[in-house]
Amino acid sequence: MATIVDAIVSTSAVELLSVANAVELLSVMWVEVTMASLAAMVWFTVTGTIIMPKGSTKVKQGKLSPRLANAGGHEQAMPLQNVTKALRQGKLGDAIALLQQLPETLAGHVPASVAPRLLTTVAKATNFDAALAELKVLAGKVEARALEASVLEAAKNKDTDACRQLLALSGPMSISKSARTLEALARAFASDISLLRMLIDEAETPLAKCFAGAVLEACAALRDIDLAAEVFEKVSEVDTAALRVVVE
């Protein structure tokens, strides 16, 4: 009987010891898991990177999805669309107000995508003087290529009045005239000696060959020797021989 009791006691003791060891082991494991979790949180906070399970890709904080990125680009395009819409509706004041808020304009340049339409709208305005007065807040911020595009379009449509107004606004707006702009204006004003002379006076010397040729063609048609002589005084010697052929 004593032997049986001793066996039971021994078995209970072993079981209790096993339970105690198991509890102690779990405690140690819990501490290790907690420490590992804290370490992972610190790593994520510092690097901003989560390592996904195998087969997944790495995800970085702050990276926009393609859909959100496209939405941002759409938002950037909206102001230009609003400017174009305002110009199309003849709301010049609204268009200019919107342009003044754009980053490109604040940096010193009216966006090239809307500048030609802006100049054309002013040139065709019923009250040109009032429209030009509104436009002057953007003086020095319209590039020469915008004026060139507007003049070429007006010349193509044989809109001499628009060409005349574009020439008139180029000075107050501090827009330089390219060789192509001058040539197009010279051809548009081929029958107006006073405007041709104005172009010659405003153009930088030596005169561009294409521009000088257009003026000389007009001089030959109008039989104006004086203006032709002035043109030859302002062209490069290299171009003189070729330009004399035009007059002759």
Residue 56 pLDDT level (bands cut at 50, 70, 90): very low
Residue 199 falls inside a structural domain: yes
3-state secondary structure 83-149: HHHHHHCCCHHHHHHHHHCCHHHHCCCCCCCCHHHHHHHHHCCCCHHHHHHHHHHHCCCCCHHHHHH
Question: What's the predicted TM-score (pTM) here?
Answer: 0.69
Query: Does the residue 184 lie in any domain?
Result: yes
**Residue 15 resides in a domain:** yes
182 and 247 share a domain? Answer: yes
Tell me the C-alpha to C-alpha distance, in Å, between residue 182 and each of 163, 185, 228. Answer: 11, 5, 16
**Alpha helix (H) ranges present in 126-248?**
128-135, 144-156, 160-170, 179-188, 193-202, 209-222, 225-234, 237-247
Print the domain residue range for 90: 78-173
Label residue 116 by pLDDT band (50, 70, 90).
very high
Is the same domain home to 156 and 193? no
Considering the domain architecture, whether residues 155 and 197 belong to the same structural domain is answered as no
Comparing 144 with 9, which gets the higher pLDDT?
A: 144
pLDDT-derived band at 27, boundaries 50, 70, 90? low
Q: Is the pLDDT at 120 greater than 70, yes or no? A: yes
Closest by Cα among 125, 123, 211, 207 to 172: 123
- The tens digit of pLDDT for each residue in 221-243 reads 999 999 999 999 999 999 999 99
Angle 18-22-24 (CA atoms, 0-180°, nearest 5)? Answer: 115
Specify whether 122 is located in the same domain as 159: yes
User: What's the chain's average pLDDT?
Assistant: 82
Q: Could you report the per-residue pLDDT of 155-183, keeping only the tens digit for each? A: 999 999 999 999 999 999 999 999 999 99
Residue 73 lies in a domain: no
Query: Which of residues 50 and 240 earns the better pLDDT score?
Result: 240
- Among 133, 157, 173, residue at a domain's last position: 173
**Predicted local confidence at residue 189, as pLDDT:** 98
Instruction: Tell me, yes or no, whether 154 and 116 share the same domain.
Output: yes
Number of domains into which the chain is organized:
3
Three-state secondary-structure class, residue 60 = strand
169 lies in the same domain as 211: no
- Tell me whether residue 64 is in a domain: no
Distance CA 51, CA 167 (A): 64
Tell which of 173, 199, 216 closes a domain. 173
What percent of the chain is predicted at pLDDT more than 90?
67
Given a contact cutoff of 8 angstroms between Cβ atoms, the answer to whether 123 and 162 are in contact is yes
CB-based contact 112:149 (threshold 8 Å): no
pLDDT bracket for residue 41 (50, 70, 90):
low
Q: Is 28 contained in some domain?
A: yes
Statement to judge: residues 219 and 244 lie in one domain: yes
Q: How many CB atoms lie within 10 A of CB 68?
A: 9
The two three-digit tokens of residue 119, written as one number: 């100049």
In a domain? residue 226: yes
Cβ 60 vs Cβ 49: under 8 Å: yes
On whether both 86 and 154 belong to a single domain, the answer is yes
Q: Give yes or no: residues 17 and 88 share one domain.
A: no
Query: Are 156 and 217 members of one domain?
Result: no
- In this structure, the answer to whether residues 184 and 130 fall within a common structural domain is no
Is residue 224 in some structural domain? yes
Weakest mean pLDDT among 59-73, 126-140, 192-206: 59-73
Which of 149, 173, 197 corresponds to the end of one domain? Answer: 173
Q: Report pLDDT for 36.
A: 59
Q: Are residues 160 and 197 in the same domain?
A: no
